[in-house]
Amino acid sequence: MLRIILVRHCETDWAIEKRYQGNKDVPLNSIGRKNAVLLGNKIKTLNYKISKIYSSCLSRSYETAGIISEHNGFESLNKICELNERNFGDWEGMTYNEISSKYGKSKTDEYLNSPLNFSIPNAETFKDFKDRVLKGLNFIINANKEEIKDTKERTIIVVAHGGTNRIIICDALNLSFENFFMIKQDFGGINVLEYYQNGDTHKIFGVIGMLNGNI
């Protein structure tokens, strides 16, 4: 069994301003760093023997993961750029109100109601985003497959982003990606996913539990 503690990065200034951060490399703010310390201590209380920690390549995620690492005795962590947040193209750095003012509220409402099909100017398509994230997830699963076979149980941490985590959770629960915005992901939120092997194929195929919360 592979247990993934799936974490959303902590707070940034752009998040407080409600700006689309996307693929922009926005750092944690002072509150985010303090909360990452609390998050690292919270993960300790889960009493799992953690083998590895993975992060996206964006600093708000990598910094959160680094602070968690410091408080859980890890000497290094692994960057997986496929876990980066979606590239929002022309929308990056803009607030919802700014986008609505420039492109029309009907366009932003259309995006929120149908994220799979809506085209954002110069942005990564939802399909490309989804495929990229799942490629990163499959890399992580395959990288830990042999260890699962030997130890029967393995726990890792993955620190990523709201959109990235929603993709992973929809996939894990076999939910339509139309449910994307229905999945809550607070800053510093923790999700626990447990994947089980299918006979001798060692195929990771399901989830038995998910705990979603925040610090």
- pLDDT tens digits, one per residue of 139-185: 999 888 777 666 678 899 999 999 999 999 999 888 899 888 889 89
Alpha carbons 137 and 80: distance in angstroms, whole number = 9
Give CA–CA dist 89/94, Å, rounded.
10
The H or E element spanning position 157 is: strand 154-160
Query: What token pair was written down for 203?
Result: 């195929």
Nearest to 69 by CA among 128, 115, 5: 5
**Neighbouring C-beta atoms of residue 111, cutoff 10 Å:** 20
Strand pairing class (50-55; 78-79):
parallel
Query: Is this model's pTM higher than 0.85 or not?
Result: yes
Q: What is the pLDDT of residues 63-98, one digit of tens each?
A: 999 999 988 887 679 999 999 999 999 999 999 999
In the block, tokens 């752009």 appear at 14
Range of lowest pLDDT (99-108, 151-160, 186-195, 197-206) = 197-206
**Taking all residues of the chain, what is their mean pLDDT, rounded to a whole number?**
88
Q: Which domains does the chain have, with CATH numbers?
A: 2-87+126-213 (3.40.50.1240)
Q: Which residue has the tokens 């890399």?
A: 139
